[in-house]
Amino acid sequence: MIARNILIIKFIYIFALQSRELVKLKWSFLYQKNNKNYLNIETGRGDSEIDICEIKNESVMEQTNYYRDLMVKKHIKSDFIFPSLSFRTLGKAMSTKGVNDIIVRLSKVRGSSFSALNIRNLSNGHLFTHEYINTELKPSLRDKFFKCKSCGKLSKWRNDKLCEECSVLGNRDYNKSGYVYFIKAIDYDYTKIGIANKNVNDRLKTNQVGNMYELYLMGYLQSPDFKDMEQEIQSKLGKYI
């Protein structure tokens, strides 16, 4: 637990992490490319906005690997780099309050009181003034990227939802795209055809409520023209109502 907590503080300082970014870190976000170590940080909701940091400091990498081995030895399996270690939520994501509590508690041991936000602000300040605590602990710059809504590729941050290629192709309407869903009763020839703006699985749940048949999502069409497509399909099947 101590190894985890110390690494948490170091990660927050080096990568200027917010608590909510820290708790989302997974081992799969830590990778090697061209003999360099990188860490991906999910900054927004979901994985649409990602900051990529190069881990220049080898001692941090060594400590991380040591911590990883320690987790394996203790039989703690988790996708998260900093999982919860409490009895009920072992291996699951930590809460942001948990992260703050750790830092406040450790800071009080040293007779002061600071939070995760204070460490982050210190890191950002040091980045600006090119200062650092010691040679081992230096804040890293974060490169901002975003995931293109159309092709899913990571591109350098710009205030848009599509990468340059997709914008040129005129895929802008993709932002407005929705779904035509087909929900069918299991073992019966009853199919519901409707539209959903965001999540087709939510439609399945709402349709199941109060329905005597067990339903399943047969499939869906995704398109910016989803409303017209629904009308077209429904009118073709009109005689079967």
Number of residues that bind other proteins (CB under 8 A): 31
Does 184 help bind other proteins (rule: CB under 8 A)?
A: yes
Q: Which is nearer to other proteins, 82 or 181 (CB)?
A: 181
Give the shortest CB-79-to-other proteins separation in angstroms. 25
Give the shortest CB-162-to-other proteins separation in angstroms. 18
The amino acid at residue 118 is: N
Does 208 help bind other proteins (rule: CB under 8 A)?
A: no
Rounded CA gap, 167 and 3, in Å? Answer: 46
Q: What share of the chain is helix, strand, coil (3-state, %, to 5)?
A: 40, 20, 35
The amino acid at residue 233 is: I
Rounded CA gap, 144 and 158, in Å? Answer: 9
Does 217 help bind other proteins (rule: CB under 8 A)?
A: yes
Give the shortest CB-122-to-other proteins separation in angstroms. 48
The answer to whether residues 96 and 19 touch, using CB atoms and an 8 Å cutoff, is yes
Give the shortest CB-228-to-other proteins separation in angstroms. 11
The Cβ-side half-sphere exposure at 78, using a 13 Å CA radius, reads 24
Rounded CA gap, 226 and 166, in Å? Answer: 20
Give the shortest CB-230-to-other proteins separation in angstroms. 8
Does 121 help bind other proteins (rule: CB under 8 A)?
A: no
- List contacts with other proteins (CB under 8 A): 181-182, 184, 186-187, 189-195, 203, 207, 216-223, 229-230, 232-234, 236-237, 240-241
